[in-house]
Structure 1
Amino acid sequence: MTQDIPDDCLELRSTGRLPGARWCPSPNFGPRPDDAAISLLVVHNISLPPGQFGGNAIERFFCNQLDPDEHPYFETIADLKVSAHALIRRDGELVQFVSLLERAWHAGRSSFQGQQECNDFSIGIELEGTDELPYTAAQYQRLAMVARQVMTAWPAIAAERIAGHCDVAPGRKTDPGPAFDWQRFLADLSAMDGGV
């Protein structure tokens, strides 16, 4: 199976580190179960404080360094221990928190096609944004690029195995929300075929 994977994606598969990502290691991860094959990509959104972009609050949140006195909303989340594998900022910057080989704490109680605990077998990518505000062209481009690299490294992730947080935790989560243009993302992804 791995003989058909390009060298850069073989490296991704062996190191778990996304090319071009700024490394900001989070302590909030653990090992994947031995029988869990990476086979799902989950798209999320996050903004801290809600609806505000920029700054380093997301990084501090995923690294357990958020000051609860800095903003009223931070008081409600400062004690949470969560992470994602990576974040795509509004300008397209890629920040990685957890090796793709490890189990990031991004989906919570979740299921996909009858399989429970999506964290065990998924990769979680956050987009800096909200459910209602349009995402940027730079974010769609970077997400398509990351998704294509991940799909090449782990061929079990096909386009139909890319889901929103809302899809794996319906009723509990709504992101990436109605503002996320799935058709645009899938078109960008399709345009990258063979471009890894």
Structure 2
Amino acid sequence: MDGWMNAVRRIESSNVDDRPEGEEISLVVVHSISLPPSQFGSDDITRLFTNTLDPDAHPYFSKVSTLRVSAHFLIRRDGELIQFVSCKRRAWHAGASSWKGRERCNDFSIGIEVEGCDELPFENVQYIRLGKLIESLRACYPIDAVVGHSDISPGRKTDPGPCFDWQHPALHGTSLVYPC
């Protein structure tokens, strides 16, 4: 098992490194992202994760184009699932973070970006895709918790935001669709 999911689009990010020796994946961190802010449907998120975002393409991009960030997965507004980093490796999604007294959440987590923002509701198909992905990850790794970025970086991050519905039925009791 190489940590890449079958049947998903794969775009490799170079913003990755090895997890600490012997570290088990026990946490899923749900994020939201939109580039430009509150706009959807472009390839700008992919460009950010692959270090090809043009700083002159939008005024906001000059602030973020030099960041070296990634996530394991991105769920687009239409439900498309893209994987950027093998689950076996450490993606750079959480930054300064802590969960239940453990620092450096990137060491033991999988990061899932959901295309969205704090001000607008997410799409039903995104919840369906997220629920199935989480269930698949739980079948492959000893996941203890699924949390928001705001839970591991309180005061620093707000995502996935107030419009994210943690009680959505698709996030509970889904079946496997992406074998490891």
TM-score, normalization by structure 1: 0.88
Structure 1 gaps, min length 5: 1-13
**Equivalent position of 1:46 in the other structure:** 33
The residue correspondences of 1:107-146 to structure 2 (distance < 5 A) are 107-146=94-133
Q: What SS does the aligned partner of 2:134 have?
A: helix
Corresponding residue for residue 190 of structure 1 = 172
What is the deviation of 1:20? Answer: 2.2
CA distance in structure 2 between the partners assigned to 1:97 and 1:77 by the alignment: 18
Aligned amino acid, residue 167 of structure 1: D
Distance 2:83 2:47 in 1: 13
Q: Deviations over 1:151-184 (max 9, x none)?
A: 1111x214xx100000000010000001000011
Alignment TM-score, normalising by the size of structure 2? 0.95
Give the equivalent residue in structure 2 for 1:6. Answer: none
* Alpha-carbon separation, structure 2, partners of 1:82 and 1:40: 18
Kept in 2: contact 1:20–1:94 (CA 8 A) = no
- CA–CA distance in structure 1, aligned partners of residues 105 and 28 of structure 2: 9
Structure 2 equivalent of residue 86 of structure 1 = 73
Structure 1 match to 2:82: 95
Distance in 1 (CA, whole Å) between partners of 2:128 and 2:101 is 31
Please identify which structure carries the higher helix content. 1
Q: Tell me which structure has the larger Cα radius of gyration.
A: 1
Q: CA RMSD in A?
A: 0.9
C-alpha distance in structure 1 between counterparts of 2:77 and 2:159, whole Å: 16
In structure 1, the partner of 2:15 is 28
1-structure distance, mates of 2:166, 2:91: 24
Given that residues 29 and 103 in structure 1 are in contact (C-alpha distance below 8 angstroms), is that contact kept between their aligned partners in structure 2? Answer: yes
Instruction: Describe the superposition over 1:67-102 as per-residue Cα deviations: whole angstroms up to 9, x where unpaired.
Output: 001000000011100000010000000011100110
Name the counterpart of 1:4: none
Letter in 2 for 1:134: P
Is structure 2 residue 143 aligned with structure 1 residue 157? yes
CA contact (8 A) 1:17 1:100 kept: yes
What's the CA shift for 1:113? 0.5
* Candidates 161, 164, 169, aligned match of 1:177: 161
